[in-house]
């Protein structure tokens, strides 16, 4: 039996992410007010509201979209609707995930892991962030690592996502004492210390959304893999 993820599950995850960002918009913008320009919550909420509408349009079409199309659509929408640094960065993350998921109707959990890894690589390629720069990377990189490690240890998808979510949350908290070295917050230098990075916080919401949406592997009987 191969554990697979359905397109419906990925769609539910993305919608849950949009819902959490809408709920936490003010908090995300408050975090950005401390070390940036107070627009991160509004940026992400605007982008993900548009992405949800794009998902509706995609779902209404025929044939039903493959996994890659769903993720790529979200990525393209973020890039085209969010002006801040986070639009291209999160947009690239989802676009790269989409490229890796490709035409699969029900990707395996291993393909999902490869997609997350490719998304992370896209963020690095675009933003050049390294460990400890106090960016979204500091939540995303440990989350991807924890996800891969949990799968390698035989955890089911839900367990691997829980591990990723915990690693992302720990990564967020770990940004608090850091000096920002990338993005707008880096202009503050030492004064960025003591504040949690907004983009990292959004990454935490992304993995929490998977848990909220109840994402787990389905032993799908479809051919695609
Ligand atoms: P802007 O900084 O343009 O106002 P946002 O406020 O929406 O954009 O997003 C800020 C977030 O983007 C930061 O909290 C950080 O996590 C992330 N970020 C900024 N620059 C980079 C970078 N070079 N690499 C990775 N993440 C970055
Ligand atoms: Mg900002």
Residue boundaries of the structural domains of the chain: 2-213
The pLDDT assigned to 217 comes to: 84
Convert the pLDDT of each residue in 46-61 to its tens digit: 999 999 999 999 999 9
pLDDT value, residue 130: 97
pTM: 0.96
**Residue with the nearest Cα to atom 22 of ligand 1?**
127
- Counting from 1 in the atom list of ligand 1, the atom nearest the Cα of 44 is 7
Q: How far is the CA of 49 from the centre of ligand 2 (A)?
A: 18
- Please state the φ and ψ torsions of residue 58, each to the nearest 5 degrees: -65, -40
pLDDT(173) > 50:
yes
Atom 5 of ligand 1: nearest residue by CA position: 40
Q: How confident is the model at residue 220 (pLDDT cuts 50, 70, 90)?
A: very low
Distances (CA, A) of 51 to 17, 22, 29, 126, 147: 11, 12, 19, 21, 25
* Residue 86: band (very low, low, confident or very high) from pLDDT cuts 50, 70, 90: very high
Interval 20-36 mean pLDDT: 98
Query: CB–CB of 207/143 below 8 Å?
Result: yes
Give dist(CA 156, CA 220) in Å, integer.
15
Q: What b/e string do you get for 132-144 counting C-beta neighbours within 10 Å, with b at 16 or more?
A: ebbbbbbbbbbbb
| Bridge partner residues of 218 (DSSP) | 4
Instruction: Map residue 214 onto helix, strand or coil.
Output: coil
Q: What is the mean pLDDT of residues 185-202?
A: 97
Superfamily of domain 2-213: DhaL domain (1.25.40.340)
**pLDDT of res. 83:** 87
User: Which tokens is 157 given?
Assistant: 């998808």
CA of 44 to the centre of ligand 2 (A): 10
Categorize the per-residue pLDDT at 218 as very low, low, confident or very high, splitting at 50, 70 and 90.
confident
Assign 21 to helix, strand or coil.
Answer: helix
């Amino acid at each position: 039996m191969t554990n697979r993820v359905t397109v419906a599950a990925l769609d539910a995850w993305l919608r849950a992410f949009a819902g959490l960002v809408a709920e936490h918009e003010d908090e995300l913008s408050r975090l950005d007010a401390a070390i940036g320009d107070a627009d991160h919550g509004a940026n992400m909420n605007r982008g993900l509201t548009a992405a949800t509408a794009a998902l509706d349009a995609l779902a209404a079409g025929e044939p039903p979209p493959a996994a890659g199309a769903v993720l790529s659509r979200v990525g393209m929408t973020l890039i085209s609707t969010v002006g801040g640094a986070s639009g291209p960065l999160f947009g690239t993350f989802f676009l790269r995930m989409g490229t890796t998921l490709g035409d699969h109707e029900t990707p395996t959990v291993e393909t999902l892991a490869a997609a997350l890894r490719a998304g992370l690589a896209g963020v690095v390629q675009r933003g050049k962030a390294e460990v400890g720069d106090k960016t979204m990377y500091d939540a995303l990189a440990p989350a991807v690592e924890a996800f891969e490690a949990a799968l390698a240890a035989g955890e089911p998808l839900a367990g691997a996502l829980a591990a990723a979510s915990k690693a992302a949350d720990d990564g967020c908290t770990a940004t608090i004492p850091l000096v920002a070295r990338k993005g707008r917050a880096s202009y503050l230098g030492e004064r960025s210390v003591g504040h949690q990075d907004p983009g990292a916080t959004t990454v935490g919401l992304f993995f929490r959304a998977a848990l909220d949406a109840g994402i787990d592997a389905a032993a799908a009987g479809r051919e695609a893999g």
